[in-house]
Amino acid sequence: MTNWSILLVEIRLIIFELVREDCHFNSDPYGRAGYASVCREWLPVFEQRNFRRLTLDQERISGLEQFMRTERRRDYLEHLFLCIRLDEYDCTICQSLEDDETTRK
């Protein structure tokens, strides 16, 4: 296997751009996570994209502090989405249409 650092800069840039612009790049939010670990040269670019938008739920919120442990990662964050899963409940009255009087209230 060829070492990334011995490739010509021009070739590395071509490869890097192909990976960045790959049509599958944006379709799978977890698919690009591994790109940041290819080499130190790729880390800041892919980390910036990986940490720009985060979606958390109840299970992942406890790990947020560890996940965002560096100031650099925190600086990348633009949007934080919190998804709250509610327990299922039965509300048979909610299934019927409201009458005009209720709608006007």
- Tens of pLDDT, residue by residue over 11-55, are 988 988 888 777 455 566 667 777 777 778 888 878 888 888 899
Kind and range of the H or E element at 96?
none
Q: What is the pLDDT, as a whole number, of residue 30?
A: 67
Radius of gyration of the chain measured on its C-alpha atoms: 22
CB–CB of 54/81 below 8 Å?
yes
Tokens of 91: 């509300």
Average pLDDT, the chain: 82
**Sole residue written with tokens 């600086």:** 75
| pLDDT of the residue at 1 | 55
Reduced to 3 states, what is the DSSP secondary structure of residue 45?
Answer: helix
30 token code pair: 């977890």
